[in-house]
Chains A and B, each alone.
Chain A
Amino acid sequence: EPEVTQTPSHQVTQMGQEVILRCVPISNHLYFYWYRQILGQKVEFLVSFYNNEISEKSEIFDDQFSVERPDGSNFTLKIRSTKLEDSAMYFCASSEASGADTQYFGPGTRLTVL
């Protein structure tokens, strides 16, 4: 069964550094998402992406964040200047369609900002 994959599994960075988190969505899916989960808390929506542009974003997704689909398979989340409070698990997800359609989550990237 196809799965969403993410790399790296764990990223440690210094405050102020840029990080890029990578995701490979399921191949026939058209909608891509990033969520984050601070340790012990609920999963929070960051951004959704369709047809090479952002379709929705939350208030968490400020100017420090950007997303890109650099090629036909990868979907990336960039954090320009990391802050301590960016430390969290970041999940990528994908779905075939929008709206009421099943979203499949990747295994996550644990980001630790020191």
Chain B
Amino acid sequence: GENVEQHPSTLSVQEGDSAVIKCTYSDSASNYFPWYKQELGKRPQLIIDIRSNVGEKKDQRIAVTLNKTAKHFSLHITETQPEDSAVYFCAASIQGYSTLTFGKGTMLLVSP
């Protein structure tokens, strides 16, 4: 089955800095890569996703890049704000299946 590794486990930045979270996946058949943000005690919320037919996608301060050859994808947050503080999970889904395999999460702390 699919295995997703995520780094770092914690990331502390100053407000206004950029943050980068990286994930690798094991199964080359994976073709869908969502990122979820989970605030304490709340549901995971999709913030951005990318499919394997594109290499990069951007939505305001958030961008995701995908390198299919290396089997890794990254989340980039620019101009971080304190409200960006949360746990971020990457996930992968193998083509033809509905299962999402999640990474272990990154706790992002943005200090004012």
Chain B residues contacting A43 (CB-CB under 8 Å) are 36, 44, 89, 91, 100, 102
Interface check A75, CB cutoff 8 A: no
Q: A42-B104, A99-B32 are in contact. Are A91 and B98 (CB under 8 A)?
A: no
Contact with B along A68-110 (1 / 0, CB 8 A): 0000000000000000000000010001001111111111100
Stretch of B45-53, B57-65, B74-82 on the interface side:
B45-53
Chain A residues close to B by CB (< 8 Å)? 31, 33, 35, 41-45, 48, 50, 55-56, 58, 91, 95, 98-108
> Which of the residues A33, A102, A105 comes within 8 Å of B43, measured between beta carbons?
A105
Interface check B99, CB cutoff 8 A: yes
B49 with A56: CB separation less than 8 A: no
A91 with B104: CB separation less than 8 A: no
B89 with A48: CB separation less than 8 A: no
CA distance A43 to B38 in the complex (A): 11
Q: A100-B32, A102-B34, A105-B45 are in contact. Are A56 and B97 (CB under 8 A)?
A: yes
A105 to chain B, nearest CB (A): 4
A107 with B93: CB separation less than 8 A: no
B89 to chain A, nearest CB (A): 6
Chain B residues close to A by CB (< 8 Å)? 31-32, 34, 36, 42-46, 49, 51, 89, 91, 93, 95-105
CA distance A56 to B45 in the complex (A): 23
Using A42-B105, A99-B32 as known contacts, list a sample of 12 further A-B pairs with CB atoms less than 8 Å apart, ordered by residue number in A: A33-B98, A33-B100, A42-B103, A45-B100, A45-B101, A48-B98, A55-B98, A56-B97, A98-B98, A99-B31, A102-B49, A103-B100
B102 with A107: CB separation less than 8 A: no
A104 to chain B, nearest CB (A): 7
Chain B residues contacting A56 (CB-CB under 8 Å) are 97-99
A75 to chain B, nearest CB (A): 14
B93 with A99: CB separation less than 8 A: yes
CA distance A43 to B36 in the complex (A): 11
Chain A residues contacting B95 (CB-CB under 8 Å) are 99-100
